[in-house]
Amino acid sequence: MSEPRSIESTISQLKGQETSIKALWTDFLALIKIGIINSNLITTFTGYWLALYFTGNTFSWSTFILLMAGTSFVIAGGCVINNWYDRDIDHVMSRTKTRPTITGTIPLNVVIGMGVAFSIIGFMLLYLTTPMAAVYGFFGWFVYVVLYTMWSKRKYTINTVVGSFSGAAPPLIGWAAVDASLHPVAFVLFLVMFIWQTPHFLSLAIRKRDEYSKAGIPMLPVVYGNNITKRQILIYTICLLPLPFYFFSLGPIFLVFASLLNIGWLLIAIYGFKMKDDDRWAKWMFVYSLNYLTFFFVGLVVATLPIFA
């Protein structure tokens, strides 16, 4: 009679262990901010791909793997350190209060150790492609960890602009892995990413305005209100309009496609001054920004495929 109970107990323990492993993996992905890593790998790959296209170099699997792994580790390291540093304010925000640095599922000494280790591993892997790729990787990491997280985030409304330098680094990393001297196109990619981030994050800031206020983070809508924030968003979306024309060599199809993406975003930004529900409008802007990033950079790659180039 005891054997069935023993089997049921064993099965129950195995299920419990499986659940614990899944929960730990979920916490790990939250700690490294896997969504940020994935989106930045798209821009890193685009930088690498366009460098091959414009320089005539051949694709190298070893360089590609080192580049993508190194970029992933650098971003993960910076995000982990960001989580460790922000643990005193993350508990008041709904989107951050379940992070393992708040729940305690991963010890803080382990968290900071992971952050430092991941960062160093990332720099080393990028250095194996070209030293300049590691330099741009360090630049992005330093801006995000030191200039954004530890300095401007809690003091100034320009924290979004400061952080944008970090988010715009991945295309440069990808390009430098092929061409250390870079190319004007690489800096246009940098500009696209730099300008894109302000409307993207300010839209999120409008939606999470109360939470940022409770956390003491001086985001633009918290300090100056939604109307001023909308003006800034509009200005930045306007600044995106001429950038696709720097890729004129990719052909008219991409120019039309990218311009339509920009016009669509601009129209939504303008509509924000007429729409009464700011939260709903900000959600539209935020969702559009995510799709914009994906479609724009995937479009660049598609436009340079042999069948279109």
Per-residue model confidence as pLDDT tens digits over 268-306: 999 999 999 999 999 999 999 999 999 999 999 999 997
Residue range 122-128: mean pLDDT, rounded:
98
Residue percentage of the chain with pLDDT more than 70: 93
Q: What is the pLDDT of residues 224-265, one digit of tens each?
A: 999 999 999 999 999 999 999 999 999 999 999 999 999 999
Residue 91 has pLDDT above 90, yes or no: no
Residue range 203-212: mean pLDDT, rounded:
96
Residue range 177-202: mean pLDDT, rounded:
95
- Cα atoms in the Cβ-side hemisphere of radius 13 Å centred on 233: 32
Enumerate long-range contacts of 107-112, CB under 8 Å, 24 or more apart: 108/84, 111/31, 111/80, 111/83, 111/84, 112/80, 112/81, 112/84
Residue 8 has pLDDT above 80, yes or no: no
Domain ranges of the chain: 30-303
**Residue 21, exposed/middle/buried by CB under 10 A (0-12, 13-18, 19+)?**
exposed
CB 201 within 8 A of CB 181: no
Q: What is the pLDDT of residues 137-184, one digit of tens each?
A: 999 999 999 999 999 999 999 999 999 999 999 999 999 999 998 899
In total, the chain counts a number of residues equal to 309
- Fold for domain 30-303? Tetracycline Repressor; domain 2 (1.10.357)
Question: What's the rounded Cα separation, in Å, for the pair 261 and 161?
Answer: 22
- pTM beyond 0.85: yes
